[in-house]
Chains A and B, each alone.
Chain A
Amino acid sequence: MSAWRFLLLIPFIGTLWVPFYNHALPAVFGFPFFYWYQLVAVPLSAVIIFIVYKAES
């Protein structure tokens, strides 16, 4: 169990605290903030898991 694993808390905080992202603006390519924020959070969370995976391998 390494300290790197605390990084894995970031996806939980970033996507489960709704006030962070329940806005229409700023919109990107016509996507309201609510939608693109959560879509972008998917690859970012994967990158975080990858970092932890690399650090632990």
Chain B
Amino acid sequence: MDIAIGIFTVLLVLVLGLGFAAGRWRGGDLTRLDEWGLGGRQFGVIVSWFLIGGDIYTAYTFIAVPALMFGAGALAFFAVPYTIVAYPILYVIFPKLWRVSARHGFVTGPEFVRGRYGNRLLALAVGVTGIVATMPYIALQLVGMQTVIGGLGITGAGFGAHLPLIIAFLVLAAFTFTSGLRAPAMIAVVKDLLIYLTIIVAIIVIPTELGGFGAIFAKIAPAKLLLPKPPAGSGGLYSGYATLALGSAMALFLYPHATTGVLSARSSEVVRRNAVILPAYSLMLGLVTLLGAMAVAAGVSTMPQFAAGFKEFGTNFAVPALLIHTLPPWFVGIAFAAIAIGALVPAAIMAIASANIFTRDIWRQFINPRVTAGQESMVARLFSIVMIIGALAFIFALPLKYAIQLQLLGGIWMIQIFPAIVFSLFTRFYNGWALLVGWACGIGLATHYALLNHLAGSIYPFHIAGYTFPCYIAIATFIVNVVVSTALSPIFHAFASDRIHDVTTEADYG
């Protein structure tokens, strides 16, 4: 394992160094928030492709989705339709958000909402939803990194075992502070080249060793190979699967880190072109998911040398075990470095995106409205450190369960800002206070149903007129949110219209 640890360490140190150097890349005045927090809105098609791809296909991709395939089977493949339908959504909706934001200098989604409705509390609700959903997501990145460090043989509960993770994230906090969004943008290029290399090698070498894909799928239990047929009078896992994919796709670009990636593009044209080329990552995600099936076929879970890893990390250990079992140690070093760097890029962007929201939508609105541009950028930089250290503390207090469920819980909340952001790009029918009430109903109900599932699952069996409809909680509660917002808007407008507060014009969206 020594050679793997050596290569892993060299790659990580190189990339962390790159993070500091990135501050000078396409130099800008980093004391301005749109320079620090959006990289100066100057990224072209290629850099945006790496940045957004590196941002939304995270370490979660490489650990938790195949882990679900390994444990639950076909259900995990929802990640593929999810990342298919996300791109028509990106194409239709987000170039509009880019245009209106660039024209008015909006750095965050909540800022757009405030500009549209003049409603500080609605913007606060949208912003806080983003920050709260992002926190467990950063923690998830740490889980990904912890798992590969564990795979390298550095395990245990002591401080020494946690040290590599702590060092990596403290360095991450430091270069995020100094370089802003330029750091993850630059690192994302290296990360994704390593990731593509790893996946292509793994998808050729491992099936050859295991006797081909036919032999791999033959080893999957028949009950897990496909989705079970729904029982009479129920949508079964069919409706669960489809709503999970759709709801996850609708929430995807509403996450602060994804919105930040979109807004840092040079033009709305860059965003549109990326809707065409980003699906390359989805194809890779599908192949990565199949690593879970390969781990089943290879039988890694019963091998004595991996017993400790599975005990500590559960099914999340399936992919690291598979790679160690089938690939030479030097390549394991590269693959694990790819996954670890795959945790750093999104973690940095998530911290930056949350910091942008904290600064523009909380600090400047509710704490110090007279903040100068330089102070604003400093508040954001400090808050990004709070986010990273907070996630680090969070991870040492939280048991390692299915990491994917944490992400799904975030999605259940995230989708509740869909009406406020997406509908508002197309119409001014809505009233800000009505959207706020709809949001509150959505968040409340979503949390209620998630608790009924003991926070262990995000699909809830809804009963409608004698028919059982298992549905991703996000979709069901989103519908309630939309109905409430739509019903209340005309009433609220009749008593106190907020249309005069709209700082945007029809032409801003065109």
Contacts and interface: CB of A to CB of B under 8 A. Distances in A.
Interface string A1-34: 0000100110110011111001110010111101
A46 interface: yes
A33 to B, nearest CB: 9
Contact of B216 (A19, A30, A53): A30
Contacts of B226: 22-24, 32, 34
A30 B277 contact: no
A30 B215 contact: yes
Contacts of A53: 91, 272-273, 275-276
Interface residues of A, number: 32
Contacts, number: 104
A18 B212 contact: no
A20 B494 CA distance: 47
B242 interface: yes
Interface string B192-232: 00000000000000000000111111000000011101000
Mostly, the B contact residues are: helix
Interface stretch (B21-29, B122-130, B282-290, B352-360): B282-290
Contacts of A19: 238
A42 B91 contact: no
A17 B380 CA distance: 44
Contacts of A8: 88, 91-92
Interface residues of B, number: 38
Contacts of A55: none
Contacts of B323: none
B238 A18 contact: yes
A45 B80 CA distance: 12
Given A15-B84, A18-B242, A43 B283 contact: yes
Given A22-B227, A42-B279, A48-B88, 14 more contacts: A8-B91, A12-B85, A15-B85, A16-B246, A18-B242, A23-B226, A27-B217, A30-B216, A31-B217, A39-B283, A42-B84, A46-B279, A49-B275, A49-B276
Interface of B: 74, 77, 80-81, 83-85, 87-88, 91-92, 212-217, 225-227, 229, 238, 241-242, 245-246, 272-273, 275-277, 279-280, 282-283, 286-287, 290
5 contacts: A12-B88, A17-B242, A19-B238, A48-B88, A53-B272
Interface of A: 5, 8-9, 11-12, 15-19, 22-24, 27, 29-32, 34-35, 38-39, 41-43, 45-46, 48-50, 52-53
Q: Which 10 residue pairs of A and B lie closest in terms of their CB atoms, listed nearest first?
A: A30-B214, A30-B213, A15-B81, A8-B88, A46-B279, A18-B238, A16-B242, A38-B80, A42-B283, A50-B276
